[in-house]
Homo-oligomer: A and B are copies of this chain.
C-alpha cells in the first residue's frame, strides 16, 4: 500500500485507528476455548466487528509465538482474513545483520504478505535496509517507545546533546523515505511530538500507548497530524479485551467506535 492509498483509506473511513491483535490466549473469553483454534476464532470475530472502523491491524508476534508453530499458523490464517485495503503491520521488532534481515523481510512481506514490519534500530543501517528494499512495503522503526524503559537509552543524551531517539530518526531518514519508512512514537510522550514532527514532518507515525498505557489521543494529534494525516494510532487491549464475555466482539466494536468517533472529529477539523 502506498502512502497516498493509506491516506485515502483514512479519509474514507474517517479513522486512523490501528487495532492491535495482541490476542493473548489466557485473556480470551472462555466460551471460545471450545474451538479448535480459539485465537483464530477470536481474531475472526474481532476483525468482522471492527474492520469498517480501522485502517490497520497490528498482530503482535509474541502472542502467536508463545503458542509455538501452531501460533504462527494461526497468524497466517488470520492474515488471510484481513481485507486487502486494510494496512497490516507485523509488530515483530526484528533486526539482524543484512542477510538475516532479508530472511525476516521474506517471512513477513512475502510469506505472510504484511504491508509493514516494526524494526529495532540498534544494529544500524544494514539491519534496516534489507526491509526497505521490498517494493511497496514499509519499515516502522522504533524511535521513542511507549514504555518506561524508553528512558534508559532512547532519551540518553548524545555527545551533541540530542537524545538517541532523535539521532535514530535523523539517520534513518537517509535510508528510507516517507514512502516506505514510518516511526514508532509512543503516546505516553505527547510533549515530544512537536520535536518529532520537526525532525520527521512527512513520515507516518505509529503511535501505541493510548488507552491501557495511559496516552491521550488529543495530545498526540495536537502536533502529530500532518498534511496526509501522518498518524496511525494503535489500541490493543482497550479494544480487543473490552469485554471477556460472550459479547466481546460487540464491546470491541463499541470501544473502536468511540475512538473512531473522536478521530472523525479531529479529521473533520484538520481537513475541512
- Give residues in A with beta carbon < 8 Å to B: 22, 24, 60, 62-63, 65-73, 75-76, 91, 93-98, 100-101, 103-104, 106-107, 111-112, 120-128, 142, 145-154, 156-159, 161, 164, 167-168, 171, 213
Q: Is there an interface contact between B159 and A97, defined as CB atoms closer than 8 Å? A: no
Considering the complex, give the chain B residue whose CB is closest to the CB of A125: B149
Q: Which 6 A-B pairs have the closest CB atoms?
A: A124-B149, A124-B152, A62-B103, A69-B72, A65-B107, A69-B73
Contact B152 A111 (CB under 8 A): no
Chain B residues whose C-beta falls within 8 Å of the C-beta of A104 in the assembled complex: 62, 65-66
State the copy count for this chain: 2
- B68, B126, B148: the one within 8 Å of A126 (CB): B148
Which B residues are CB-close (under 8 A) to A146? 97
The smallest beta-carbon distance between A4 and chain B, in angstroms, is 30
Closest to A155 in B: B124
Residues of B with C-beta under 8 A to A161:
159
A96–B93 touching, CB < 8 Å: yes
Known pairs A65-B107, A156-B167; list 17 more (Cβ under 8 Å): A22-B100, A60-B100, A65-B72, A65-B111, A66-B104, A66-B111, A68-B112, A69-B72, A72-B72, A93-B94, A93-B123, A98-B147, A122-B145, A123-B142, A124-B153, A127-B149, A158-B159
Report chain B residues within 8 Å CB of A150: 123-124
8 Å CB contact of A76 from B68, B96, B101, B124 = B68
Measured between beta carbons, the chain B residues less than 8 angstroms from A154 are 122-124
Taken together as a complex, chains A and B put the C-alpha atoms of A97 and B121 apart, in Å, by: 16
Closest to A171 in B: B152
- How far apart sit A76 and B91, CA to CA, in the bound complex (Å)? 22
